[in-house]
A and B are shown apart, each in its own frame.
Chain A
């Protein structure tokens, strides 16, 4: 295991130029995923995140075969699938999850077929599925930075509308909000957040970046604003710590980052101030006030 000082030295070492790039991309994409993931977790649409992550795959494969930009290839494929899901799920005979089930597996299958036509595909397949910190081109760092900033801007600008739809679709519709378009925007945000994260963390693990930090943040607070700050902080620091551990212990980067985020989630589960396991244990010994006893939700004495 190398010390933090040596890790910083390695980051500055020009021979290891891929390392700071990987760190930048991993932290930026985790921050973006931490924010967008809050919407995903609160809407209970983790399955859609999973679907989009798979749907991105054929785009990556085509970009790889054509030697194009992986970010753009993935984004195009993901957005196409997101639009298909949004359009096809307007048919009420089939539930959304079935539609998603159809399209994302088909997209993944298409990706595997496409990439098998490229020479030496076994190695690149593994790189796609489990991520890699080497071989990130300079322009991708820029693309991730620009795309991430745009994403956060859109999420900020449409925040209250997205929340209104999440809270109560029926009321949002009655109030005249364009619910379909807002859904589509959210799907596209999720897609791009996934695409910019796929390179370092891999196609299979990317869902964790979207869900785990936001879920840990939810455990720690009952306030949306705080949650949306905690999500990216947890995601970004998991990426930083994960990459450091992976570099110093020679472990795969994607897996290590996800395990660090999962550790944060478990700590939050046990230690959360109001909803955590320990707080609830302690809470059970005190009798709730009559007003709170009437409450259908979680009983929190003394609040």
Chain B
């Protein structure tokens, strides 16, 4: 909780902590009679890029789906700018995993982005000037405007990911949720996308939360990390999460795991020996 409500201290005076754009409070979710998530607390403030990391089955996707209102909460609540339920869901842009989208569909990049606004356009109505403008602005934001007439089936993996991001941005969301945006992409593409997400957070003041298995990329690219395994084990800046015990708990790994070395947070040799002795 203290990490979540960090007060910004400037020139000696204490400023009220800004209300987080996305607040997850004590969320528990039961799926098929199994408690897959409990006591989950997480805040994402405007302008933050938070990486949600944890092993398979840790409940990352379930947490995203809870935020979207797609699974029933057993307890707890999710608010976006203080709003709950449908009002909260409207302020969230969702970027699902790439395979969720029917890429063989005969549709242009621009129309795919417009499809993100289907609900705000409303029943019985066709997209209007406002909607096209929003789609154009979103495509500009992800630098895909030059391909807006291209059928989506002819795009590369990185371009597809950008289209999905633009589709979410077309709603001008306060919160952007990204589910495994890097799966199946090469390193240069991953880095370009990370830069884009950071830019969306910093320049547009969007609260960005993404799940990822690219831990090294997350440590370098995210402003904050959230370690998840059935519950939130820790949140903080990458520098704050330097205790190997947290990572060992989140990922169920041993203290000599190459993962910790790769992340540059392996325990010092003396500490490791102390661990062996005990």
Contacts and interface: CB of A to CB of B under 8 A. Distances in A.
A177 B154 contact: no
Contacts, number: 96
Contacts of A170: 70, 94, 96, 100
B154 A171 contact: no
B156 A295 contact: yes
The 6 closest A-B pairs by CB, nearest first: A222-B151, A297-B154, A164-B118, A175-B119, A174-B68, A297-B153
B251 interface: no
Interface of B: 68-70, 86, 89-90, 92, 94, 96, 100-103, 105-108, 111-112, 115-116, 118-119, 121, 123-124, 126-127, 151, 153-157, 159-160, 167
A208 to B, nearest CB: 21
Contacts of B89: 174-176
A241 to B, nearest CB: 26
B180 to A, nearest CB: 13
Contacts of A292: 154
B96 A298 contact: no
A294 B108 CA distance: 18
B106 A222 contact: yes
A167 B105 CA distance: 7
Contacts of B92: 174
A163 B115 CA distance: 8
A221 B106 contact: yes
Contacts of B154: 292, 295, 297-298, 300, 303
Nearest to A300: B154
Q: Decide if the interface of chain A is mainly helix, strand, loop or mixed.
A: helix
A227 B105 CA distance: 11
23 contacts: A42-B102, A166-B105, A167-B105, A167-B112, A167-B115, A168-B96, A168-B102, A171-B167, A173-B70, A174-B68, A175-B89, A175-B94, A175-B119, A177-B119, A222-B153, A223-B108, A224-B105, A227-B106, A294-B156, A296-B155, A296-B156, A296-B160, A298-B154
A163 B94 CA distance: 18
Nearest to A168: B101
Contacts of B160: 296
Contacts of A300: 154
A157 interface: yes
Nearest to A298: B154
B5 to A, nearest CB: 28
Contact of A167 (B107, B126, B151): B107
Contacts of A163: 105, 107, 115
A176 B112 CA distance: 17
Interface string A170-192: 11111111000000000000000
A217 B38 CA distance: 50
B100 A171 contact: yes
B105 to A, nearest CB: 6
Nearest to A42: B105
B100 A169 contact: yes
A96 interface: no
Contacts of A169: 100
A170 B101 CA distance: 9
A161 interface: yes
Interface string A137-168: 00000000000000000000100110110111
A156 B153 CA distance: 24
B106 A218 contact: yes
A42 B100 contact: no
Given A171-B94, A176-B90, A177-B119, 5 more contacts: A160-B121, A168-B96, A174-B94, A221-B106, A296-B157
Contacts of A171: 94, 96, 100-101, 116, 167
